[in-house]
Structure 1
Amino acid sequence: MKDMLKNMMYAGIGAAFLTREKLEEMRKELMDKGCLSVEEGKAFVDDLLKKSDVAKGNLEQWIGRKVEEKVKQCHLASADEVAELRRKVEELEAALRKEQGCGCQQDSGAAA
């Protein structure tokens, strides 16, 4: 019983990183030791898979927030901000060419 609780604690802590295959191995081991019935084993795996999905989602959100915070702290431009600046530069180049009377459509090299 103590081993089962220890295994469940470890499973809870590492739920975000467990795969179905690893959970099935744990289930089989617990069933072989007589700690779980077939029904309990299935419920165990299903429950941990759900918890794993939730933990993965929470971890991804947390990492996303931390990355956004660091990007803001570094004053880095986002892809949208860079695209908007490119658009404005192209507009200014076109206006400058028009004002200079060139009228030619030169490649600005911004299509990279």
Structure 2
Amino acid sequence: MKDTIKKSLALGLGFAVTTKEQAEKIANELVKKGELTKQESTNFIKELIEKGEETKEDLDQRINEKVDEVLKEMNIVTEDEVEHLRKRVEELEKALKESK
């Protein structure tokens, strides 16, 4: 029973829980209800934090990929492209001044 509860909570709440305080609060409630022991709660907190961090990283990556995709579809230049063009203009201006 405890393993089922732990797995369900780790899966369901792991996506939403990213801070240690939130994980500790959930674990403490489960200890009070007798669903987890103190030792199990320590492991549970660690698992929740890890899953939350993994999910956040995955979500950040997916968002960045989607934003890049949308910008490309809209034919909008990126900050890197603008910087590259700025440097190229500076080089051309410098070359033009030197040739005069």
TM-score, structure 2 as length reference = 0.78
- 1:33-112 paired onto structure 2 within 5 Å: 33-99=33-99, 101=100
Does residue 13 (structure 1) correspond to residue 2 (structure 2)? The answer is no
Which structure 1 segments of 5+ residues have no match? 102-112
Structure 2 CA distance for aligned equivalents of residues 81 and 35 of structure 1: 55
Count matched residues. 97
Q: RMSD in angstroms over aligned alpha carbons?
A: 2.3
More helix by share: 2
Shift of residue 41 of structure 1?
0.9
Unaligned runs of 5+ in 2: none
Larger Rg: 1
Ranges of 4+ aligned residues in structure 1 off by more than 6 Å? none
Letter in 2 for 1:70: V
Return the TM-score normalized by structure 1.
0.71
